[in-house]
Amino acid sequence: MDLDRARLLRSAPWRIAGAVLEPTIPHARDVRLLNAIVCEPGLVRKLDSAARLSRWHRPTVAAALATIAQDAVVLFGDPQQRGRIHRCENSRCRVIFYDDS
């Protein structure tokens, strides 16, 4: 189940990014999937007793996927972030990337 959900989550943001670059409306199925996963509780960090290190508090695959989905929602939902999504200009290249320069 976790692996299937991870595979679905891997594909949906790529298709949404492609739609953003076209620009077209992303497929409703991909947006629904992202929204369903993002509503799950995400990863939470906590400090060690010396307040020097942080670690994940009870990490699970579901929480990791929710955190990834949260990042995708921020990326696609913020016009400034969305404007940094680009496609490689080489006609034989299909890479979509985030330009943080």
Whether 38 and 66 have beta carbons less than 8 Å apart is answered as: yes
State the total domains in the chain: 1
Domain assignment of residue 25, given as a range: 2-98
d(CA 8, CA 100): 26
93: which DSSP letter?
-
- Give whole-number Cα distances, 31 to 77, 80, 92, in Å: 11, 19, 28
d(CA 48, CA 50): 6
Q: What is the pTM of this model?
A: 0.86
Per-residue pLDDT of the chain (101 residues; tens, 9 = 90+): 889 999 999 999 999 999 999 999 999 999 999 999 999 999 999 999 999 999 999 999 999 999 999 999 999 999 999 999 999 999 999 999 999 99
